[in-house]
Amino acid sequence: MTLTLSGHGPAPTLISPECDSPGCSMAGDQYTMVRCRTCGAWFCPRHVASAEAVTLVRTVALELGGLSYYQGSCVPCQQARRQNQH
């Protein structure tokens, strides 16, 4: 059985967020940028806390065409959480 995706439903929505880190103007799409699960801002791979797990999130919102994106944690949020644990 062959699964053909073309011609079925809307094309995947592509968003192009810019990195929220001060002084960084890196821009990409939801497959190259990571959204912080704590503050909701987008960050490029250089400004995402690498020690945090990055997970793929799929929305079910129809108006977004089933948008999926990567969710992780930015460096400031990770440091804030670390300090709270002490």
CA distance 64 to 51: 30
Q: Which CB, 27 or 61, lies closer to Zn ion?
A: 27
Residue 69's DSSP bridge partners are 57
Q: Which stretch binds Zn ion (CB under 5 A): 1-9, 35-43, 54-62, 63-71?
A: 35-43
Q: Does 33 bind Zn ion (CB under 5 A)?
A: no
50-71 burial, b if ≥16 CB within 10 A, otherwise e? eebebeeeeeeeeeeeebebbb
Q: Which CB, 19 or 69, lies closer to Zn ion?
A: 19
How many chain residues bind Zn ion (CB under 5 A)? 11
One of 10, 12, 24, 29 touching Zn ion (CB under 5 A): 24
Phi, psi dihedrals of residue 83, rounded to the nearest 5°: -65, -35
Name the residues that contact Zn ion, by CB under 5 A. 19, 21, 24, 26, 36, 38-39, 44, 47, 74, 77
